[in-house]
Amino acid sequence: MAGYPFTSALVTGASSGIGEAIAHELGRAGVPAVLVARRRDRLAAIAEQYDGFEVLEADLTTRSGQAVVTARIGSSTQPVDLVVNNAGFGTSGPFHEQDVERLTDEIELNVVALTRLTHAAVGAMVPRGRGWVLNVSSVASFQSAPNLGVYAATKAFVTSFTESIHAELKGTGVVATALCPGLTRTEFQSVSSTESYIEQMPGFVWTTADEVAQAGLRDTVAGKVVSVPGAIYKATVAISGVTPRPVSRFVAGLVQRR
């Protein structure tokens, strides 16, 4: 069991995937947590396994849902010192064939909600001189992704935004970290209609939600600005940083046509 310095946490998108894995990791470590998602029944099933867990049902694609969660983050009587912005989804396929309302919700959740919750977290943590924000991004944030263009763009925002906030917070006692996993077996594949990746991509390129959760929390505690779980993806990110963008776009296009 890992030991963490957090006294309390709030995790969005906690009903499945990486968010659920982070919730269990915190629960096993004895860290009380507020679990946020739309599916109250799934949150309750997780919360009942651990002491001090709280369920907060909210739809973060709406401003009203965002307001409920920012209010909880900003509570002075029940403060949280770790906020994990994990809620998000993707949409795959040719951009012009996609439902623009779904894409708008994707941007609202992946970008707007994350920004508003991070603002609430940092605003509450800086005066206390202590806190951690873990924003879940993706290795897709480092390159173009044909047929996942909006998703990759939202994650590019998350990584760049978190890097900027991390620098701003230096010396405050508050840390912001971007977690950038690669292919991870979660409900993301079914929600984003990328189930074909499971058959197309070899087993060794896949990480588990537990591996990602543990790496993200460990790197957050270490004060890292970017956390990339898995040796393959660390190398991928390093290479992408020195690869000319035309070459990167060409390779991304080949992968998507597989």
- The residues that are catalytic are 151
Tell me how far the alpha carbon of residue 154 is from its chain's centroid. 11
Hey, which bits of the chain come out as E strands?
9-12, 33-37, 54-57, 82-85, 131-136, 174-179, 226-227
Cβ–Cβ under 8 Å, residues 174 and 185: no
Return the amino acid letter for 47: A
Cβ–Cβ under 8 Å, residues 61 and 88: no
Return the amino acid letter for 212: V
CB atoms within 10 A of CB 57: 16
Distances in Å between the Cα of 96 and the Cα atoms of 87, 89, 156 are 25, 18, 21
3-class secondary structure for 167-193? HHCCCCCEEEEEECCCCECCCHHHHCC
User: Helix or strand or coil: residue 153?
Assistant: helix
Measured in residues, the chain has a length of 258
Q: Which two tokens stand for residue 120?
A: 């609430």
